[in-house]
Amino acid sequence: MKRSIFKSYDIRGIYPKDLDGEIAYLVGQAFAQMTKAKKVVVGRDMRIGSSELAEKLTGGLTSQGVNVESIGMVPIDAVYFSVGKFDYNAGIMVTASHNPKEYNGMKMVYKVPKGIEWVRGVELYEFLKDKTFSAAAQRGTVRERDIMPEYIEHVLSFINVNTIKPFTIVVDAGNGMAGKVMPLLFKRLPCKLIPLNFELDGNFPEHPSNPLLPESQVQIKAEVVKRKADFGVIIDGDTDRLFFVTEKGDFVRADTTLLILAKYFLQKHPGAGVAYNVICSRAVPQRIREWGGKPLRTAVGFVNLAKAMQQHDGVMSGELSAHYAFRDNYYADSGFIAFLILLSLISEENRPLSKIIDGMNPYAKADEVNIEVEDSKKIIEKVKKRYADGKQDGLDGITVEYADWWFNVRPSNTEPLLRITVEGNTPEILTAKQKELLDFIKQNA
């Protein structure tokens, strides 16, 4: 068993090379003992091996006396919803999210008074290593349940369907679980659905499951323009991340989408907190304050944002990877709730998406750059000294701010990489400062 498959927030590895049925069984045993859960809900996606992993995982859970309810092939937020809404102590989703087709994995949550929290993969590994688990005196039961009717009602509860206008929308499901959910939603919406890649297929035959990759965006951008649609949506495999495309075929960056959603929520919940992470645009905290909200800044990682929401009266959160979480969704993320809220907002504004986002973020921001290094701590210390005249903080790596630009350099949790984000007041400042910073890091790597 490789320690490397136990990640900061979940379990993920190549199937069946690194993660197979035997390991899934052991994870089930360890999860039962670590959480002391008596009733667990298990869901899975359409990936290769998900069926076997879910079956073996269930076997491990029941061997420890846990009663399992299987909800079959579902989006990830259906598991979150189930744990938050019903009498489950915990839930596990078999998925590798947006990873390439060779991967599979598990996301694990448990119920807390305010909603749900995530079981970190690294913590589960520390609990199970060097342990053997004896069977319980009485084996747990397995029951199947169709959660989709209640789940669909839940996500639709975030909007007033009667206010939605009859838009034409291109949805690229990427052969992931959105292909199952979107038809159910559109039955209740007065909108025309133009589906792309709705067949559930863990081989991802049309494009990678990661919507952030340029090759994943080509098809939907072209289709939105060709079909003269009002906007487009592209979603990853387990549906927790989604991105929007304007009617002009332009990709909308996730921190801009966060601003759209934040404005909507702060109008309905004045003074509430909105959580964002350190690599979001500086426009995010500025706009949140402007709209009367409380900006809640966190380290990168959706688990960190959920905790900030729970601790500081947060109504929602978002980050550059396009995880959007909501207080009334048990502090968990949901791509479909984000989609429906944007749909509602565009209906209210009565303007194209391109006009709604125009001017919302005045800054120039580059995509994250990754540089391979041997000693990330050493490089970060050198960066601190080189940019000692800026305002610095160490919440996640090192962030340095100046009047006309800022940057963040942080180490990867899982790879020997530094991740670099740069934003400037103008494109010219961005280009010059990003080159300066990257050249310095490469020279010292």
Catalytic residues: 97
Give the pairing type, strands 67-73 and 142-144. parallel
Q: What angle do CA 353, 359, 363 make, to 5 degrees?
A: 120
Give the pairing type, strands 369-372 and 364-365. unpaired
Residue 382: which of 396, 400, 359 has the closest Cα?
400
Separation of first and last alpha carbons in the chain: 32
Instruction: Collect contacts of 437-440 with beta carbons under 8 A, ≥24 apart.
Output: 437/383, 437/407, 437/409, 438/369, 438/371, 440/382, 440/383, 440/386
Tokens of 24: 């899934």
| Strands of 314-429, DSSP E | 314-318, 324-326, 332-333, 364-365, 369-372, 391-393, 398-401, 405-411, 417-424
Tokens of 176: 């992931």
Fill in the DSSP letter of residue 394: -
DSSP per position, 32-62: HHHH--SEEEEEE-SSTTHHHHHHHHHHHHH
How far apart CA 392 and CA 407 sit, in angstroms, is: 10
C-beta of residue 321 within 8 angstroms of C-beta of residue 243: no
